[in-house]
Structure formats: structure tokens, C-alpha cells
Structure 1
């Protein structure tokens, strides 16, 4: 994580690479990597968006995006 919000905001403005590092750090520290590997979209969406993930169909959107980009 970040020591303060100012450092987080600075990094997010600095580069896409920093944004990806932050995302990967979040995924790792919240135990969500296994859900991604298994393509368990509901578990990943719940961990990332919280219990109300299904209200916005985040799991379905992840599955659709994965299918689209996988080709």
C-alpha cells in the first residue's frame, strides 16, 4: 500500500506503469491473484468492488471483457 494519499495520487498521475504496479499490489495483497488465474470473476469482483459487485454486474463485465480480448 501507500503511506499516504498524496503519494498514491502522485504515482497515479506519474505513469501507467505506476498505475499497473498499484493494481498488481492491490491484487496481491488482497489475495485476488488466484481468482484471476482461475477466471473466477465473481470472487475477483467481490474482492475488488465489495459485496454489491453483482448490482453492477462487474463479474459479467469482466467475463465479457476477457472473452473479447482473448479472441
Structure 2
């Protein structure tokens, strides 16, 4: 087990594993989600029919409730 008080340099050696890749993966997924959300918002603003299609698809895919108004 690695501890903060370990004095052996071998304990502090970084190894290639999933723990090293997790922060990079998190940033990349966040960027992808932000890009997709931005694209869907701009697309919906430019086409009223597309807004209706996105609403129906999100209701089916993500079990969101549809409602009119704010």
C-alpha cells in the first residue's frame, strides 16, 4: 500500500494503469458532452421542427417529461 510517509523511491514510481488515464478520459468526455450540447442547442434554435424532434427523442431516450412553456 502506498502511503504518504513511504521513504522508498520505488513506492512513488508511476505505473501505466487506469488510474493514470482517468483524469484525461474525464476531460475528454466532458469536452465531447459540451460540444454535443452546444451543437444541439444551436441546431434547435435555428429550426423549430428540429426542436420538436429533439424533444421527442430526448423524451424517449432519457425518459424526460415534455411540457410546453417555461
Determine if the TM-score, normalized by the shorter chain, exceeds 0.5.
Answer: no
Name which one, 1 or 2, has greater alpha-carbon Rg.
Answer: 2
TM-score, normalising length from structure 1? 0.36
Q: Which has the higher helix share?
A: 1
TM-score, normalising length from structure 2? 0.36
Q: Which has the higher contact order (CA 8 A, sep 6+)?
A: 1
